[in-house]
A = this chain, B = another copy of it.
Amino acid sequence: MSKLWEAPPSRERPVLSVPVIARAAIELADQEGIDALSMQRVAAVLGFTKMALYRHVSDKAELLAVMVDVAVGEPPSLGAGDWRTRLESFLAALSAVWERHPWLPWVTLGDRMMGPREMAWVECALTALDDTGLSGVEKMDAVTLLFGHIRNTQSSGTAGTQPWAEDHQVREPYKELLERHGDRFPALSATLAGIGEAPGDFGRRFGLDCILDGLAVRIGRAASGA
């Protein structure tokens, strides 16, 4: 008699577990941004009380750690080729994942431990630099540099110093502002006045080429005798 009318005990309640929670949290963060992620919201999505989550996850930090490792997934296999093309294809894969989960690169910032999947990505990036003759520190720092650049040029949330939108159109408030105070910023005015059409990922491409060219210089130097 317990189960009233023998009704299915609960539609829409997937049985709580760490992966289930993580997936729900990831979906929430993907759709509404990482700031909208609260224990309450995650629990609500799954149809539970927030405190139910704490049975499976010790605190929000742990939830985030799990989310990261689930969301990042497995690194790509780079195939053959020289270090540059292999790096390029690695970074394309990284971009794709970070585009799918825009919050991902930003929650991995502070002092923290990498998860196994995360380490696998770093491992993957390092292998691309295997036969370059770079030292250990240099390899790691190159990888860090590239990760950072991709994160910085992510569409989401890195306007930073850029007075234009994704399509390189100067944003309206800046236009107005420069009309009134343009004389105080001659170089900026001139620069913005002179920009034409540019693809959305021009900044990323430009920076990437700079960095890779710089790496090439060092790698060439390392190859042709210390």
In the complex, per-residue mask of A161-196: 1 if CB is within 8 Å of any chain B CB, else 0: 111100010000110010001001111101111111
Within 8 A of B (CB), among A104-152: 108-114, 116, 118-120, 122-123, 126-127, 130, 135-145, 147-149, 151-152
Check A109–B160 contact: CB distance below 8 A: yes
A109, A116, A118, A168 pick with most chain B CB within 10 angstroms: A109
- Residues of A whose CB lies within 8 Å of any CB of B are 108-114, 116, 118-120, 122-123, 126-127, 130, 135-145, 147-149, 151-153, 157-164, 168, 173-174, 177, 181, 184-188, 190-196, 198, 202-203, 206-207, 209-215, 217-218
Contact indicator B211/A112 (Cβ below 8 Å):
no
Instruction: Give the copy number.
Output: 2
- Chain B residues within an 8 Å CB radius of A203: 137, 140-141, 144-145
**Distance (Å) between the CB of A117 and the closest chain B CB?**
11
Chain B nearest Cβ from A180, distance in angstroms: 11
- A120-B184, A213-B214 known; 9 new pairs, CB 8 Å cut-off, are A118-B161, A119-B188, A123-B188, A140-B203, A142-B206, A143-B161, A145-B207, A145-B210, A214-B214
A140 to chain B, nearest CB (A): 6
Q: Output the nearest chain B residue to A127 by Cβ-Cβ distance.
A: B187
Do the beta carbons of B195 and A159 come within 8 Å of each other?
no
The reply to whether A202 and B161 contact each other, CB–CB distance below 8 Å, is no
Q: Does A108 lie within 8 Å of B160, measured CB to CB?
A: yes
Beta-carbon contact of B161 and A195 below 8 Å: no
- Nearest-neighbour CB distance to chain B for A50, whole angstroms, equals 22
Interface pair B138/A206, CB less than 8 Å apart: yes
Assembly CA distance A116 to B180 (angstroms): 12
Minimal Cβ-Cβ distance residue in B for A213: B214
A168 to B177, alpha carbons, bound, how many Å?
45
In the complex with contacts A123-B185, A187-B123, A209-B214, A194-B159 CB distance below 8 A: no
Which residue, of A130, A173, A191, A207, has the highest number of chain B Cβ atoms within 10 A?
A191
